Amino acid sequence: MNKPSFAAALFGFILGVIAMFLFQARDLNTLRYNNASLKQENSDLTHEKELLSLKLEQSNPKRLIQSIAVTVEPQLPAGVSQVDVNQWVRQQIGFLIGTEVSTLNSHPNMPREFLNDKIFTVDQNKYKVKVSYAFLAETLTIGLTLTPIDNS
DSSP state of 63: P
139 forms beta bridges with 67
Are residues 75 and 45 part of one domain?
no
Q: What pLDDT, in 10s, does the model give residues 27-74?
A: 898 999 999 999 999 999 999 999 888 887 777 677 889 999 999 988
Same domain, 55 and 75: no
Boundaries of domain holding 136: 67-149
Number of structural domains (the chain) is 2
Rounded-to-integer distance, Cα 130 and Cα 73, Å: 10
Cβ-contact 141, 135 below 8 angstroms: yes
One domain, residues 72 and 142: yes
> Do 104 and 145 share a domain, yes or no?
yes
Shared domain check, 115 and 45: no
pTM surpassing 0.85? no
